[in-house]
Every structure is written in structure tokens, then in C-alpha cells.
């Protein structure tokens, strides 16, 4: 007979909360694993009544969706947590935000709407803003046009199995160039396909098609995530939860 953990089983999940958070400043260089540990410690400090998995090594019920690459800032990271006690979402947001470093901000927290489906199914696209110090609009604009005019742009991407050739063009739904205070800005809407195309891959593609080589490191910020519709709009992935009516009463932490 298989061994069973001693003691009673953990309390069931009675509520799911979906959270949007930002990573900024120096913490854009933190790995996803480091950020996950930081968030889990903050949930404990904030007194959030987490639900746990069963078994000999219980883990808090947390799901991370589409983490931004290390080195990129983001205003649209998402996670889902399961709670053993129903709580007011805004109270959880405020308590968790207060338990985190200033460079991680909890921007939004909503209760998962019943019958609205999974959060992961609502995210298939990222909106990126990439600042290119030392590059002018006159340099970036023709490079973007040349890139968009190609059907395929192959670049070498470093993976855990070594370098792999990928098509950087197929994932880019749209791209445009702008300029602010003398700095060129690349705006992109990028589908989250496999293999994933990151801002660095698109910059490598611009170098390949137009010999664009920024003299200083680029600064990439993910501004939004969501599902891309036929009009080119990226929908708010928490929108269905905001619209759903949650019949239960919530108790503040």
C-alpha cells in the first residue's frame, strides 16, 4: 500500500485570484525563478491565506503566465493564486503590494469569474516598447520598413540546446518607429508562438536586413499582454473576470 501523508488533507481552494504586476528598475534583471521566490515570500508576509497542494511536499497554488525574459521590464506580468479563504481582491492587492520591493508593483487583482475559462487561454500576444539610445528615427524607420517587407527573416537564437535558426518575422503582427527626446523607439505587437520571439531577436533581425547596430543597450518594456483580435487590438486578459458577477461575499484579509 502506498504511503500517505500524515495529518488531515489541506483545505480546498475556495477562490482564485488573478493578478497583474510590474517589474521595473533593477529587478528587470532578476530571473523568473528569483521573482517567483520573492512573490511567494511576500504572499506569506502579507498573510494571504494560500491554498496548498496535497502530498508529502505541499506547494502554494500559484500559476505564472507568460513571464517576460530576463533583462526586460514589464507592466503586464500575470499570475493566478488559489486561496483557502475567500478574500476581497483589493485587500489582497494592497497587502501584497506593501510586502514587495518598490520595483515590483501589484497593479491589479480580480477574482476569477465563474465559467470564464482559463487566464492562459486569453494571452497569445505581447505589446513591446523598445528604446534604442544612440539611434535616430531616420535610422530606425527604414530598418523597420525593410523588416516588415520581408516574408521571412532568419536569425540565430540561443536556446538550452545551443544556437537555433528561427524566423523572427512570422511572430511580429505589427511594428512602427517613433522618436522621443532624440531616442528612437520601436513599438511592436508580437504573437507568442513557439519558438518565442523576443525583442532581442527582432533587433537581431533589424541588424540582418538593414545593418542596424545600436551603439548602446536597448531598453525593452512589455506594455501589455492579451489576445490579439482581427482589428489588431490586444484585449485585457482580466476583462472577462471584471465583467463576471461573483455571487459570493468576500472577507477582507
pLDDT at 6 (0 to 100): 62
Average pLDDT over residues 27-53: 95
Cα(89)–Cα(112) distance, rounded to whole angstroms? 10
Better-predicted residue by pLDDT, 121 or 250: 121
Q: Whole-model pTM?
A: 0.90
The fold of the 124-226 domain, in CATH, is: Alpha-Beta Plaits (3.30.70)
Written as one string, the DSSP assignment of 108-167 is: EEEEPPTTS--SGGG--EEEEEEEETT--HHHHHHHHHHHHT-S--EEEEEETTEEEEEE
CA triplet 77, 37, 54: central angle to 5 degrees? Answer: 100
Among 58, 59, 60, 78, CA closest to 68: 78
pLDDT at 244 (0 to 100): 82
Tens digit of pLDDT for each residue in 74-130? 999 999 999 999 999 999 999 999 999 999 999 999 999 988 899 999 999 999 999
Average pLDDT over residues 204-222: 97
Average pLDDT over residues 55-59: 79
**Rounded mean pLDDT of the chain?**
92
pLDDT at 248 (0 to 100): 52
Torsion, CA 88, CA 59, CA 100, CA 225, rounded to 10 = -80
Average pLDDT over residues 236-246: 86
Average pLDDT over residues 41-45: 97
Share of the chain above pLDDT 90, in %: 80
Tens digit of pLDDT for each residue in 139-197? 999 999 999 999 999 999 887 778 889 999 999 999 999 999 999 999 999 999 988 99
Q: Show me where the domains of the chain are located.
A: 15-120+237-243, 124-226
| Top-level class of domain 15-120+237-243 | alpha beta
Angle, helices 137-148 vs 199-210, to 10°: value is 90
70 within 8 A of 78, measured Cβ to Cβ = no
Share of the chain above pLDDT 70, in %: 93
Amino acid at each position: 500500500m502506498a504511503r500517505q501523508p500524515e495529518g488531515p488533507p489541506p483545505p480546498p481552494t475556495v477562490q482564485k485570484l488573478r493578478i497583474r504586476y510590474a517589474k521595473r528598475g533593477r529587478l528587470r534583471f532578476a530571473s523568473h525563478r528569483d521573482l517567483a521566490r520573492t512573490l511567494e515570500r511576500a504572499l506569506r508576509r502579507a498573510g494571504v491565506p494560500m491554498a496548498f497542494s496535497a502530498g508529502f511536499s505541499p506547494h502554494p497554488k500559484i500559476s505564472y503566465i507568460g513571464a517576460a525574459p530576463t533583462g526586460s521590464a514589464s507592466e503586464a506580468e500575470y499570475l493566478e493564486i488559489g486561496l483557502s479563504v475567500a478574500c476581497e481582491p483589493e485587500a489582497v492587492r494592497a497587502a501584497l503590494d506593501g510586502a514587495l520591493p518598490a520595483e515590483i508593483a501589484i497593479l491589479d487583482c480580480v477574482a476569477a469569474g465563474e465559467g470564464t475559462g482559463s487566464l492562459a487561454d486569453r494571452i497569445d500576444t505581447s505589446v513591446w516598447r523598445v528604446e534604442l539610445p544612440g539611434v535616430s528615427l531616420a535610422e530606425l524607420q527604414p530598418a523597420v520598413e525593410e523588416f516588415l517587407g520581408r516574408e521571412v527573416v532568419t536569425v540565430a537564437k540561443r536556446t538550452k540546446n545551443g544556437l537555433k535558426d528561427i524566423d523572427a518575422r512570422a511572430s511580429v503582427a505589427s511594428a512602427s518607429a517613433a522618436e522621443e527626446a532624440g531616442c528612437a523607439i520601436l513599438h511592436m505587437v508580437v504573437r507568442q508562438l513557439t519558438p518565442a520571439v523576443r525583442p532581442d531577436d527582432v533587433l537581431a533581425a533589424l541588424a540582418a536586413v538593414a545593418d542596424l547596430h545600436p551603439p548602446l543597450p536597448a531598453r525593452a518594456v512589455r506594455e501589455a499582454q492579451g489576445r490579439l483580435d482581427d482589428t489588431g487590438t490586444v484585449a485585457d486578459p482580466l476583462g472577462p473576470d471584471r465583467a463576471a458577477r461573483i455571487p459570493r461575499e468576500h472577507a477582507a484579509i
